[in-house]
Amino acid sequence: MDYLLALAATGVIMGIIYALMAMGLTLIFSILNVINFAHGEFYMLGGYFSYFLLTLFTGLNPFVAVFLSGLLVSVIGLIFEFFFLRPMHLGRIERPPEYAVLITFGLSFFLQNLALAVFGPYPHRPTSFFSGAVDLGVVRVSTDRLTASVLSLILLGLLLLLINKTWIGKALQAVSQNKDAAAVVGINPLRMNTIAFSLGVGLAAIAGALLAPSFSIMPDVGAVPSIRSYVIIVLGGMGSIPGSILGGVLIGLVESLGAGYFPDPSRGLTYKTSFGLIIFALVLLFRPRGFFGRKER
């Protein structure tokens, strides 16, 4: 029982961070109708930026580094959106859905190789937020991971406030529901696209920067988190914000419990991510629109 609780606690702690990243993907999908296949690479960039900020400016507060790297990646996202995704919404691109898949995948290929060329294949690890571990009663968690989780939780809360209470948030919701109607009431859908994309990739970057002290950063470090996020958004329902939070926590639980109860725990750790694929298949078989997805084919 204690073991179960310990695994569950770890699962929830990680799940909240997963949710933050998946939330970024959801935001982009619900506004731009684009699945960002470069989401993992923005996560990776977030980690690298916070590492280099901390090494360049010694004495910089690690939390400041996290948010600065999120901001920097947002700017990169903004530039990419403007030059490569906006033309799609202006009707200058043939077959937009195909283009969206390929251009974001192309970006992922480009960024991953760029990181390899610039930073090299070796792992980098930024300084910890706090050293040591915290005893939560049922389980001892490394302080870094707990900090990352708490910060993610706060960010998720702020994001929900932004989406539900502010004008921009309501405008985003309006665009996600109906682009033309939103335009009629004076919302510029193109601007909302840019906001959603740079905010979404910024969230991925913050997740990357938050987890960088726990897991090192390498050029291919984004693959697993991005795949996890795909599973989460399919499970939660494509484009659903509550779905991505619930999905994130659930995937965190499944990974933690699955790895803990796997017949051979060391193997279980290797297979952690593959439970996600099983869930993906099950969702497609039994409830293709996930928890809160809009009904569609």
Partner 1 sequence: MKAKDNFSLSLQWILGGILLVIALLVPLFAQTYWLHVLIIAYFYALLASSWSLLAGYAGQFSFGHMAFMAIGAYTTGLLGRYFGIGPFLGIIFGTLMAGLMGLAIGALVLRFKASYLALFTIAFSEILRMILNGESDITRGDQGLSIVPLLGEEIISRVPYYYIMLAVLLVCMVLMYWLANSRVGLFLRAIREDEEAAAARGVNVVRYKVLTFVVTSMIAGLAGGFFAHYITLITPNIMIIPQMGLVIAMAIVGGVESLFAAAMGGIIIQVSLEVLREFGAWRLVIFGALLIITLRFARDGLIAPIMQKVMGTAPKAELRTQTDAQKVAKEDVLDES
Q: Which residues bind partner 1 (CB under 8 A)?
A: 35, 37, 83-84, 87, 91, 93-99, 101-103, 105-114, 116-117, 178, 180, 220, 223-224, 227, 230-231, 234, 267, 270-271, 273-274, 276-277, 280-281, 284-285, 288, 296-297
Place of tokens 């999905």: 247
Residue pair 237/290 in contact by the 8 Å Cβ criterion: yes
Nearer to partner 1, 2 or 296 (CB): 296
Please give the distance of CA 134 from its chain centroid, rounded to a whole number.
Answer: 25
Nearer to partner 1, 134 or 281 (CB): 281
Positive or negative, the CA dihedral 116, 120, 123, 125 is negative
Least separation, in Å, of the C-beta of 96 and partner 1?
8
Nearer to partner 1, 86 or 140 (CB): 86
Q: First and final CA of the chain: distance in angstroms? A: 42
* CA distance readout (Å), 63 to 66, 70, 94, 147, 172: 5, 11, 43, 10, 28
C-alpha to C-alpha distance for 117 and 51, rounded to whole angstroms? 17
Nearer to partner 1, 68 or 233 (CB): 233
Least separation, in Å, of the C-beta of 172 and partner 1?
17
Nearer to partner 1, 149 or 244 (CB): 244
Backbone angles phi, psi at 141, to 5 degrees: -115, 145
Least separation, in Å, of the C-beta of 19 and partner 1?
18
Least separation, in Å, of the C-beta of 24 and partner 1?
16
Least separation, in Å, of the C-beta of 271 and partner 1?
7
Least separation, in Å, of the C-beta of 264 and partner 1?
10
Classified as helix, coil or strand, 141 is strand
C-alpha to C-alpha distance for 2 and 243, rounded to whole angstroms? 29
Nearer to partner 1, 52 or 271 (CB): 271
Nearer to partner 1, 26 or 112 (CB): 112
Residue pair 17/203 in contact by the 8 Å Cβ criterion: no
Residue 16: name the closest of 244, 183, 249 by CA: 249
Nearer to partner 1, 52 or 99 (CB): 99
Residue 25: name the closest of 83, 111, 104, 116 by CA: 104
Least separation, in Å, of the C-beta of 135 and partner 1?
32
Least separation, in Å, of the C-beta of 107 and partner 1?
6
Region of 135 (left: φ > 0; alpha: ψ -120 to 50; beta: rest) is beta
